[in-house]
Amino acid sequence: MVAQLSHLIYRTEQVRSGEQAAAAAIGLSMAQLMQAAAQACLQAIQDHCAAPARVAIVCGPGNNGGDGWVLARLAQAAGYQVTVYAVPPTTKLAQQAQAAWQAEGGRWQSSIDSLHGYQILVDAVLGSGLTRPLAGFYLAAVQAINAAANTAWVLSVDVPTGLNSDTGQPQPIAVTAAHTVTMVAIKAGLVTGKAKDYVGQLSLAELGIGAAFSKQSPMAELVQPELAQRWLAKRKPSSHKGDHGHLVLIAGGPGMSGAAILAGRAALRSGAGKVTLVTHPHTLAIIAQAQPELMVHGTDEKGLIPWLEQADAIVIGPGLGRDAWAQQQLQQLLDWLTELSGPLPPVVADADALNLLAQLPQGEPSPNLRQWVLTPHPAEAGRLLRSVMSTRFADENMTAVVEADRYEALTQLVTNFNAQVLLKGAGTLIAGPAHQIERILVCDRGSSALATAGSGDVLSGLLGALLAQHRQPSAAALHELVATAVWVHAVAGENAAQAGERGTIASDIVNELRALVNP
SS3 173: coil
Residues 375 and 431 placed together within one structural domain of the fold? yes
317 in a known ligand binding site: no
For residue 233, what is the domain's CATH number?
Answer: 3.40.1190.20
Question: Tell me, what's the pLDDT at 501?
Answer: 97
**Residue 255 known to bind ligand:** no
User: The dihedral of CA 94, 98, 104, 108: what is its sign?
Assistant: positive
319 assigned to a ligand binding site: yes
Q: Residue 94 and residue 70: Cα distance in Å, rounded?
A: 9
1 lies in some domain: no
d(CA 437, CA 422): 13
CATH number where 176 lies:
3.40.50.10260
Domain boundary among 200, 219, 238: 219
Buried b (16+ CB within 10 A) or exposed e, 169-190: bbbebbbbbbbbbbbbbbbbbb
Q: By C-alpha distance, which of 434, 419, 440, 437 is closest to 486?
A: 440
Answer yes or no: is 277 a known binding residue: no
pLDDT at 4: 62
Q: Say yes or no: 143 and 277 in one domain.
A: no
Does some domain include residue 242?
A: yes
Amino acid 300: pLDDT:
76
The answer to whether 85 and 91 are in contact (CB under 8 A) is: no
- Distance of alpha carbon 477 from the chain centroid: 20
Owning domain of residue 169: 8-219
Task: Judge whether 308 lies within some domain.
Answer: yes
Residue 127 counted as an annotated binding residue? yes
- Looking at the structure, tell me whether residues 374 and 456 fall in a common domain: yes
Residue 364: predicted pLDDT: 57
Domain boundary among 219, 251, 286: 219
Residue 71 lies in a domain: yes
Across 128-159, b (16+ Cβ under 10 Å) vs e yields bbbeeebeebbbbbbbbbbebbeebbbbbbbb
**Inside any domain, residue 152:** yes
Contact 134, 102 (CB under 8 A): no
Residue 47, annotated as binding a ligand: no
- 295 and 416 in a single domain? The answer is yes
Q: Is 424 annotated as a binding residue?
A: yes
Q: What is the DSSP string of 246-274?
A: EEEEE---TT-HHHHHHHHHHHHHTT-SE
Q: Does 352 share its domain with 495?
A: yes
d(Cα 123, Cα 487) in Å, to the nearest integer?
32
In a shared domain, residues 136 and 282 = no
Among the listed residues 469, 390, 15, 455, the one whose alpha carbon sits nearest the alpha carbon of residue 205: 15
- Non-local (6+) Cβ contacts of 324 within 8 A are none
Residue 456 marked ligand-binding: yes
Between CA 165 and CA 156 the distance in angstroms is 13
259 is in an annotated binding site: yes
Q: Is residue 505 part of a domain?
A: yes
242 is in an annotated binding site: no
How would you class 49 by CB atoms within 10 Å of its CB: exposed for 0-12, middle for 13-18, buried for 19 or more? middle
142 located within any domain: yes
Contact of 461 with 264, CB cutoff 8 Å: yes
**Do residues 244 and 166 share a domain?**
no
**Residue 503 annotated in ligand binding:** no
Tell me the C-alpha to C-alpha distance, in Å, between residue 357 and each of 54, 106, 179, 461.
Answer: 57, 63, 41, 19
Burial of 113 (0-12, 13-18, 19+ CB in 10 A): exposed
Question: Is residue 495 within 8 Å of 437, Cβ to Cβ?
Answer: no
pLDDT digits (tens, 9 = 90+) for 425-457: 999 999 999 777 888 999 999 999 999 999 999
* Annotated binding-site residue? 123: yes
Is 11 assigned a ligand-binding role in the annotation?
Answer: no
The reply to whether 38 and 141 lie within a common domain is yes
Rounded distance between C-alpha atoms, residue 457 and residue 351, angstroms: 8
Q: In this structure, are 249 and 160 located in the same domain?
A: no
Residue 292: the pLDDT is: 95
Domain end call among 199, 219, 239: 219
Is 174 flagged in the annotation as binding?
A: no
> Which pLDDT value is given to residue 341?
85
Q: What pLDDT shows up at residue 395? A: 59
Asked if residue 354 and residue 414 are part of one domain, the reply reads yes
Mark whether 230 and 186 lie in a shared domain: no
Q: Of 136, 132, 148, which Cα lies nearest the Cα of 60?
A: 136
129 is in an annotated binding site: yes
Residue 67 is assigned to a ligand binding site: yes
Residue 138 counted as an annotated binding residue = yes
64 is in an annotated binding site: yes
Angle of helix 30-48 versus helix 63-77 axis, rounded to 10: 50
For 234-271, the pLDDT digits (tens) are 999 999 999 999 999 999 999 999 999 999 999 999 99
Same domain for 423 and 458: yes
158 in a known ligand binding site:
yes
**Alpha carbons 408 and 412: distance in angstroms, whole number:** 6
Strand pairing report for 440-443 and 428-431: antiparallel
Mapped to the 3 state alphabet, what secondary structure does 335-391 carry? Answer: HHHHHCCCCCCCEEECCHHHHHHHCCCCCCCCCCCCCEEECCCHHHHHHHHHHHCCC
Is residue 426 part of an annotated ligand binding site? yes
Distance between CA 87 and CA 140 in Å, rounded? 12
Contact 269, 459 (CB under 8 A): no
Query: Quick one: which H or E segment has residue 422?
Result: strand 420-423
Low-confidence ranges of the chain (pLDDT < 50): 1-3
Count how many domains the chain has.
Answer: 2
- Does 2 map to a domain? no
Q: Residue 178: what pLDDT?
A: 98
